[in-house]
Each structure stands twice: as C-alpha cells, then as structure tokens.
Chain A
C-alpha cells in the first residue's frame, strides 16, 4: 500500500492544469519528433531543455514536459518506420521489418493502431514496474559487469542470423559492415588510438547513430526515388480506412506482455537500452511464434513485439537513471543532465529524499501514456494522411527535416556530409540486396560489445575464462550458443505451415 499512497502523492504533485497542458504539448511534440527521421528522443529532449530553462519551469513542470517528449518520441518512432520504411529513431529500426510490409499490403492503419496499442502496453507495464520495483531492481545493475554485458551482446549477435529472410550470408556481411563502422573513432580503452579517422577530428567521437540511420534509410530512399522516377520507391503505400483491429490486438496480447517484460529488463540494464530491448523482443517472438517464418513479411506480431519492447525499455531505462544515476540510454543521459541542473541528484537516496520529484515523475508518465494512447490510436488518421501527400512533395520534405534534425545534433556540416555518404552506401547496399537493419544493429551493439570485451580482458589480465566466471554470464552464453545453433538443426524440423485463418496475409 506504500506504493499507492506514494502514487497519490505523485498525482497530487503532478496534476495541475499547467502540468497537464505541458504533458499534452510534450506528447504532441514528442510524437512528431519521434516520427521525423533525424530527430530522436535524445535530441528531442536536448533541444527542449534550454526552452524549459528559459521559461523558468520548476522541477515537476520541466520533467512533465520532457518525459512526455521522451515517451512521445518512443511512440512516434514507429510512424515513419511503418509508413516510409525509414525508422524515426534507432529503437524503431526493428519495426520497419514487419510494419512496412503491412503498410504495403494496404494495412498501414492496422499496423499503426496495433503498434500504438503495443507501445501503450509496453510503456504502461514498464511504468508500473518502475513504480513498484525500482529500488529493488537497481540491485540488478550491480550484478552486471563487463563479462556479463559481453555475453548479453553476444546473445544479441548470435540471434542476428535468424533475422535474415533470404540470404544469411548477406545479413552477416551487413552486420560486419555495421561492426566496422562502430570501430570508427578514438579507442575508448586506451583513449588515444584514433581508428579510421584519417586525422579528421570530427570522426574522433565515432559515427552518430542517427546520422547512419537517416543516411542509410532516408537519403538512400531519395536516390532510389530519383533513379526510378518514383516507381521503385518505398514511398506511396496504399491508403486504407483506419479501423480498430480488435482481433489482432487480442491475438497479440501475450506477445505484448512477453515483449514488455523482456524490454523492461533490457532497459533496466544500464548498458543495453531500448534498441536491444526491441531487438530481443522481436527475435524471441519470432523464435517462439508458430508462424515465425512469416516474420518480416508483415506479421502483426512482428509489429507488436518490437514496439512493446522498445517502449518498455524506455520505462526500464529510467530505473538505473533514477536509482543509481546511471543512464541506460542516450535519452536518459540527457534527462539525467537535466535533473542535475535542477539540483536533483539521482542516486540511491533519490526515492527517500525527493519523493515529490520521483512520484511526480511517475504520475506524469502515467498521464503521458494515456494522452499518447489517445493521440496515437483514435487520432492516428492524421499521421496516415501523410500517404495522401504525393511522394515528390513528401520525400524532399522528409529529407529537409532530416538534414535540419541532424544539423541540430552537433551544428556541424560534417555530419551532413557523412549522412550523404551513408546515403550512397545505403543505395549501393540496397542495390546488392544487402539488408540494412543488421548494419544498424552492428553499429549500435558492436561498440558496446567491443568495450565490454576489452574491459573484461583488462580486469582478468587477458584470461578468457573470466568471461564465463559468473552464473549470469554462463546462462547468457548457453542462450547465445543455443540461439546460434538451434535454427540450423531445427529449421527443417520445426517448419510448420502458417495456420489457416490466422489473419496473416502471406505476401507474394
């Protein structure tokens, strides 16, 4: 009952007409920021921090605005994934896999509503998890050292092979390209070796994920559009009526629940974050679904799982941020900085010292979730109208916003050049039918995996057995090996025909 009385305190702090107004504004802005390629939750929140200072908001108000933007951007990321095949931000990459094929089949509305509901389920459950178990869960972070993180990333890479639809070799090549891109920059483990920077200072910090995503997906799309005079382009999917696909939502309820739990725990681990959450959610659902082989061709479960997963991870990432002061993702790093500037120091004592702030924040998250559900389900029509804009208007617009968004990251023309370079690379890869999603995952996870391995080797004086020295690490290794080997043996055995009447339209 403690939690309930705390929550009542939170709502009494958070529910004022002004904070509600800020939550609505934040949700709306966040959804747009998330939907626009080039603007993700991290820079959305970063852009609005100076605004919150200029307006002289107090802690509750500033947090109401910025966490609404955060959750809003997590919801919004799926929109361009589904409608344009361009992920709005990095956690939404997985949503392109089935969301866009669904839109191609004329079910864009269904995909948007379903993913909206999945996002709600994910973030709602995660917020409950945050409210009930946060101080307890903080202890989980203590258990994860370099060895355990390395095994976790290895698990992710081992299941990557299952991602490929047609050609495993091309997926592997794509992941290797991603890994190579991840190596660019100063080696963080010795602090001085510049790798693949060619003496260019702009490359010292490595490649920003958003630059890679916008380049590979959005800019490459423009090249395709120009080449084919619009025929070959992804843009311009069929418009349908937006109805509530109740059957599919009910069909996916266990998917959402499982994906939310998995995503939440991925979020709680400081080193993992939302991208890993959505990836793991997608891959595990693919593995256990009876119609797993239709994942990637527009399976609604493939839309629900990553969206529930990444939104739950967004909530989970607040756990280490609030209880340890360790940000679990780029966005929570920005939120952490905001809290410090407001003279609130997250850490083990935050829940005891500043219950008004913590529970006010949690109450705001619940409010933002309701607002976002309303905005993203009944009002999703607004976003579907994007389709009625001719592609020759839409695409330049999206490109322009991408450029502005990426420029706002660093204020450097160099990132824009990099984006075009990635666009050309993405165009070539697509011509060669090399999938782009493993490239992004390679960039996202490769860095972390290398760092974990290098740290583990430093701690153990190069003794490899250190990597299997804890029960958690051993379990993760077994899962990783299982995830890699099992598909090879089981592929023939377990292939079952798609169930008739499952509501899954088989493409082609």
Chain B
C-alpha cells in the first residue's frame, strides 16, 4: 500500500517539469493541456502588438547573453593572424576549427584534457556526496523532533551566509598543518559540504513527505535508515536533482578554493588551467588561440547541460517554494 501511494505521488511531483518538452504519457499529457488552458485564459486579453514588442525586447536581451558565446564560436575557427586581423563578429579567411581544437587537446602534453577530467572529478564526486549528505541532514531536521534541532538549523543557515572565500584562507592553514594542501583532497573535502542544499532539502522534505508514509514504513518494521534510503530519497528526487545541479555548478565555477589550495598544475581544474594559458598571452600570442579554443571547449558541454537540465532545476525549486 505504501508503495502505490509513493509511486502516484512521485509522478505528480514531477509533472510540472514535463510541461515544456511534452514527454509522452497520459499523466503528463493531461498536465500539459491543463497548463496550456491556464495559459490561454491569461493570454486572452493580450494584443498581438504587445506580443511583438515583448518578443522583440526579449530577442535583444537574448543577443546580449549570447554575444560572448557567439564570439568564441566564431573565433575558435580562426588562425592567430585572422584573430587580430579580421572583425570578431564574422569568420576569418581560414577555417581551422579542428586543427585549433587539436592544438588545445595536445598543448602542454595534453594539459587541457587533464584539467577537464579534474574538473569533472571535483564537481561530480563533490556534488554527489554533498547532495547525499545535505539531503540526509535536511530530512532529519525536517522530520524528526529532537533537542537542538532549531539551533542546528540556525547554525547551518549562518553557514550559508558566510562567504566561501572567508573560510578558504583559514582552511588552507588547517590543510597545510595536516599536509593536505596541493592534493585532490584539498579541493574535494570542502566541496562535500552544501549548507544551501540542506536548506532546500529541509524545506522540500517537510512539504513533500507525509508523516503517514514514514509511519507505514515503521509499522512494516523497516529501520530508519531503510526508510530513508527506500522511501524518502524517492520522494525527494526533484529536490535532489536541484541540489545536485547547484552543487555541481558551484564546484565547477569555484576559482578561489583551488587557487588557494593547489600549486601543481596537474591538479588544476579547467578554470585555473585556462586562466594560466590566458596569462601567458602577453608574451606568447599563440596562447590567444589556445585560450579561445579552450574557452569554447569548456563552455559548450556546460551550456548543453544547463539547457537540457534547466527544466529539472525549475521543477525542483518551484515545488519547494509552493508548499514551503
């Protein structure tokens, strides 16, 4: 009985996210139509001229957001000569995208692929564990009564407000005492913590997990850990996806922490590595082309990821704020 209620409520929680893509399935189809209808009642009074003006405005804004990405795509195809000799908004005389990318991948003995792998390692491993820990703790704070519960939450909330860079410097001192600086661990360990994830997980868990499900599990004789791993985690999937994404992007974008911790170029994430190349453009102009190509390679996968996963991102946050 508890399984059937779990299944049905988990489909309803995910419905909002299927709106834009219209994935097949009776449940989501109905939701799409209902949503469309809601949209139309609000569209009813809109004049076509308003639509044109608003859309034109949105296009102009979109150009602003896409210009740097467009520039890097166009200029990654150029030779160093064309990079400076031709207008940056259009292609040059030669098209050497593939040899440029080949250069990026092989320069410095394959440094770039290594940085990319490091970034993936830091962000992937960091995000998975940080999410697991944050969700477990957030759920505990939301669904258990115990002394000190509010104090812990207030304490962690304070942690959300402390700038990451303020802790990075003293963390460097701690890590250098125990010999962890300039290792993978020095970047990984701080990445395992997501106070913001706990914050989201707590809001979401208190709204999305009915006490009855937990009680039913307990009556069936399941242990608390088993209830968490089998029932709760499934209910929290939208929140989990959101926290995972947040943390992945946060670690991927982090610059200060690896800058402080790492000295060995082999351990660098993409951000540090690419900036290293850029810093050399003053003396060696060929590094311009490497930096442009490297920027393209690091932007494209994340851009795709962001666009594909955007709907999960929204779905997760919305649910939390609706009920929280």
Do these two chains really belong together in a complex? no
Binding site for A on B (CB under 8 A): none
Interface residues of A (CB under 8 A from B): none
